[in-house]
């Protein structure tokens, strides 16, 4: 089994190159460990006998659409929300999306296109390769169906699609929200018509821009 990822050069956005990263498949199971403070991590080491159960992590974000989900799936999705980071022309990203959709995982998708978004991705994951999957605070870098399935299993997601008929994940959104341009200042209302004044001296250079708009 192979992990595949899509490498995004930070100095340019055109001609994005595909980077294939080979790694050995994980043979051991993945365990979910919860410490006494409620911090959840995933590891190939079994939890110790002293591990104390804890409630869901505080402040955990939930996917955009959990309405109408079966109770158990909704609880998992709220406790360990799944987010997929993708880019255009990224074959591993398409394969990752297909895995999540086929298995019935509620997830958010965030796209990485601009230089600003690449920098945000690097701050998030310390790399510029895609796809990136987060399950709660756990990050999985590079696509591998076996590894991703193990982590989804450990988080408690069902192994088969249990989404209600007609359920749809929300549309993909940019990683960095676009800033809306400030509206242009409105020109002052034209004064009421007045009798034509007598010829005057040449006007000053700014008379042709009564609204004061700067370009």
**pLDDT digit string (tens) for 31-86?**
556 555 555 555 665 555 444 433 333 333 445 478 889 999 999 999 999 999 99
Position 60 in a domain: yes
* Whether the bond into 131 is cis, omega within 30 of 0: yes
CATH number, domain containing residue 93 = 3.40.30.10
Q: Which of residues 15 and 175 earns the better pLDDT score?
A: 175
The rounded percent of the chain whose pLDDT value lies above 70 is 53
The answer to whether position 77 is within a domain reads: yes
Indicate if the alpha-carbon torsion angle 12, 18, 22, 23 is positive or negative. Answer: positive
pLDDT of res. 37:
54
Q: Which residues of 90-118 are buried (b: 16+ CB within 10 A; e: fewer)?
A: bebbeebbebbeebbbbbbbbbbbeeebb
pLDDT at position 166: 87
pLDDT at 203: 46
Q: Looking at residue 133, what is its pLDDT?
A: 97
Question: For position 68, what pLDDT does the model report?
Answer: 84
The structural domain count of the chain equals 1
Residue 191 falls inside a structural domain = no
Integer Cα distance of 8 and 115 in angstroms: 10
Range of the domain at 62: 6-174
In a domain, residue 138? The reply is yes
Calculate the average pLDDT of the chain: 73
Spatial separation of the C-alpha atoms in residues 128 and 125, rounded to whole Å? 8
Q: Which of 1-15, 79-93, 106-120, 166-180 bottoms out in mean pLDDT, i.e. has the lowest?
A: 1-15
User: Domain for residue 208, yes or no?
Assistant: no
Q: Answer yes or no: is 38 within a domain.
A: yes
Task: Please say if the pLDDT value at position 215 is more than 90.
Answer: no
SS3 155: helix
Question: Looking at the domain assignment, is residue 181 inside a domain?
Answer: no
In a domain, 187, yes or no: no
Minimal CA–CA distance to 148: which of 97, 212, 210? 97
pLDDT tens sequence across 82-132:
999 999 999 999 999 999 999 999 999 999 999 999 999 999 999 889 999
What is the rounded distance in angstroms from the CA atom of residue 4 to the CA atom of residue 142?
5
Highest mean predicted confidence (pLDDT) among 15-19, 57-61, 164-168, 206-210 = 164-168
């Amino acid at each position: 089994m192979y992990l595949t990822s899509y490498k995004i050069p930070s100095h340019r956005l055109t001609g994005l190159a595909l980077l294939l990263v080979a790694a050995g498949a994980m043979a051991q199971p993945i365990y979910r460990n919860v410490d006494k403070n409620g911090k959840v991590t995933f590891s190939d080491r079994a939890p110790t006998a002293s591990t104390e159960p804890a409630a869901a992590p505080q402040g955990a974000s939930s996917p955009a659409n959990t309405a109408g989900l079966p109770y158990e799936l909704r609880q998992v999705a709220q406790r360990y929300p799944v987010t997929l980071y993708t880019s255009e022309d990224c074959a591993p990203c398409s394969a990752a999306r297909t895995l999540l959709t086929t298995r019935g995982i509620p997830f958010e998708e965030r796209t990485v296109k601009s230089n600003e978004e690449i920098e945000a991705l690097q701050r998030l994951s310390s790399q510029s390769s895609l796809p990136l999957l987060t399950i709660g605070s756990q990050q999985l870098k590079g696509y591998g169906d076996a590894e991703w399935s193990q982590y989804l299993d450990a988080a408690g997601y069902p192994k088969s699609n249990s989404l209600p008929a007609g359920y749809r994940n929300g549309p993909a959104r940019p990683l960095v929200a676009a800033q809306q341009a400030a509206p242009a200042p409105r020109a002052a209302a034209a004064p009421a018509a007045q009798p034509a004044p007598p010829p005057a001296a040449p006007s000053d250079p700014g008379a042709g821009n009564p609204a004061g708009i700067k370009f």
